[in-house]
Chain A
Amino acid sequence: MSAFYEGLRNLFIGLAEAGTLPEAFQYAFVINSLLCALVIGPLLGCVGTMVVAKRMAFFSQAVGNAALTGVAIGVLIGESYTSPYISMFSFCIAFGILLNYTKGRTKMSSDTLIGVFLSISLALGASLILFVSARVNTHILESVLFGSILTVNDLDMNILLVVTVITLALGIPLYNRMMVSSLNQSLAHVRGIKVDALEYIFVILLTIITVACVKIIGAILVEALLLIPAAAARNISRNLKSFVWMTVLISTLSCIGGILIPMQWDLPLPSGGAIVLVAAIFFILTTSLKGILPVFREARM
């Protein structure tokens, strides 16, 4: 894959040098981050619609926080502090499965339970990462929390690509069944849908997506990019098809805008923060549109 990325980078750099593309495209890291944005945008957009339907936004935040612990463990066991994927994936998947297992076996409300896990994962992750950052790099906490496009490399892009392929391979054939089980579990059971198995599959997908996006968007902002584009699209969608595609569009534009805008105007913003701020602008726009144009109001037809 490295040769493929290199070819793409050379193509973009050539176009930038010829003046066809803006000057920023002369830098390999800009092209890397844009390639990631073009994958992350549609991926998070599509999954975000399911996250909204399943009301699992805080779940992905809890997993994002767990990634902090994953990074810290990775550094402690000797993984590279810029890409501690083995420990991040292992810890976050175990965390996600444990959270889902507990959710199915307690009478506590889902909100409360996720809140408890979220707080524990944040406290544990922040403590551990501050402890290890003294040993390696003091900026590690900031880059894990808010993303750092400068450090995206071929390995990160490969991981993102593999996660995307797994998500598409499982998510597309199971999309309808996942959506039905989130609407009514009894109905789903009767229709032969394995509700519990699907729940675990979705939790694992959401976890690996979150981990793969940590470097670009940041651990605490992945959840925002899963939620805000879907919430923005929901304001102006009249059916499922427009909801999903509008979410994908807003999510992709937010990723591209969040990467290009700070470069264009030399703004000292972390990539994750800028991406989420662009998404927030879309949310404000669609909310205003909904208020202004009667066609978007939820009146009965």
Chain B
Amino acid sequence: MQGPAIHVEQLSLTLGAVAILAPMSFTIESGNIHCLIGPNGGGKTSTLRCLLGQMPHQGRIRIDWYENRHCGYVPQLIEIEKTLPLTVRDFLTLLMQQKPAFLGTSNDTQQHIDVILEKTRFTDKQNLMLGSLSGGERQRLLFAQALYPDPALLILDEPMTSLDEAGMHNFEELILDFKAAGGTIIWVNHDLEQVSRLADQVTVIDRGLLAHGPTSSVIDEKMRQGIYRQAGAE
């Protein structure tokens, strides 16, 4: 597998009269872990939504796909009606097959579900209702669904919120495995320690591009203080 490279050229975003993002250009290399960091409200999630094609924007986003064109997406925590009788397995079935989930799960889909539940160490939770999952468990389920069909690009929007230490460890392992297999990862992350440890490249966004480049050159002590100061000031 080879993940895509992504070229963002003069991307800007305006909602009504409000400028959300000033024009910015950067490149996300194939097979890299690329983190988007910056203060809350700075436009990281809006940038992701532009990359996902969900927001009308100015400028150009070019994705150089290789043989596999699948993209897995892990959204921020989803809120669902807690009493809806939908199990973990139901949720995955809804996403993974065309036949209505209430008519049963096909053998093929069962096998795919078993594999991703195993990978994300979620097998023992497969019959739990979504409403009874903790925040961290729901996050792991969202990660699990992103692994089918086999993606070449993973887009993660603050996926570690609410995870406990074991969950985080499992998550990091999965991300590193995905990278080792050649996949590209775009990751909105607030944890600068984790970004320093795992990311190959970093883009700092605060209503436009503040900095972009290899992690070691972008994240230094000055940057840490700068970002925290801006985030704390909001």
Co-assembled chains A and B: yes
Contact yes or no, B85 A237, CB < 8 A: yes
A135 at the interface (CB under 8 A from B): no
- Tell me the smallest distance from the CB of A272 to a CB of chain B, in Å: 27
Given contacts A189-B54, A241-B101, contact A55 B81 (CB under 8 A): yes
Contact yes or no, B85 A234, CB < 8 A: yes
Q: How far is the CA of A97 from the CA of B224 in the complex (A)?
A: 50
- Tell me the smallest distance from the CB of A234 to a CB of chain B, in Å: 6
Interface centre among B80, B94, B102 (most CB of A within 10 A): B102
Chain A residues within an 8 Å CB radius of B84: 52-53, 234
Select which of A184, A239, A245 is within 8 A of B86 by beta carbon.
A239
B17 at the interface (CB under 8 A from A): no
Q: How far is the CA of A300 from the CA of B88 in the complex (A)?
A: 13
A:175-208 near B, CB below 8 Å: 175-176, 179-180, 183-184, 186-187, 189-191
Chain A residues within an 8 Å CB radius of B81: 52-53, 55
Question: Interface size for chain B: under 10, 10 to 19, 20 to 34, or 35 or more residues?
Answer: 35 or more
Contact yes or no, A172 B73, CB < 8 A: no
Contact yes or no, B85 A186, CB < 8 A: no
Chain B residues within an 8 Å CB radius of A184: 75, 78
Contact yes or no, A240 B102, CB < 8 A: yes
Select which of A176, A299, A300, A301 is within 8 A of B97 by beta carbon.
A176
Contact yes or no, A179 B132, CB < 8 A: no
Q: How far is the CA of A280 from the CA of B212 in the complex (A)?
A: 61
Contact yes or no, A300 B128, CB < 8 A: yes
B71 at the interface (CB under 8 A from A): yes
Interface centre among B90, B100, B145 (most CB of A within 10 A): B100
- Tell me the smallest distance from the CB of A126 to a CB of chain B, in Å: 32
Contact yes or no, B80 A241, CB < 8 A: no
Interface string of B62-73 (1 = CB under 8 A from A): 000000000101
Q: A238-B127, A299-B132 known; 16 other A-B pairs, CB under 8 Å?
A: A175-B100, A175-B101, A183-B78, A184-B78, A186-B73, A187-B75, A187-B95, A189-B54, A190-B52, A234-B85, A243-B102, A245-B102, A298-B82, A298-B129, A300-B128, A301-B132
List 24 interface pairs A-B (beta carbons < 8 Å), by A numbering: A53-B81, A55-B81, A175-B102, A176-B97, A176-B99, A176-B101, A179-B101, A180-B95, A183-B94, A186-B49, A186-B73, A187-B75, A189-B54, A234-B85, A238-B127, A239-B129, A240-B93, A241-B90, A243-B85, A243-B86, A298-B83, A299-B132, A300-B128, A301-B132
What are the 9 A-B residue pairs with the smallest beta carbon separation, nearest first? A244-B102, A190-B73, A175-B100, A237-B85, A240-B90, A243-B85, A184-B78, A176-B94, A239-B87
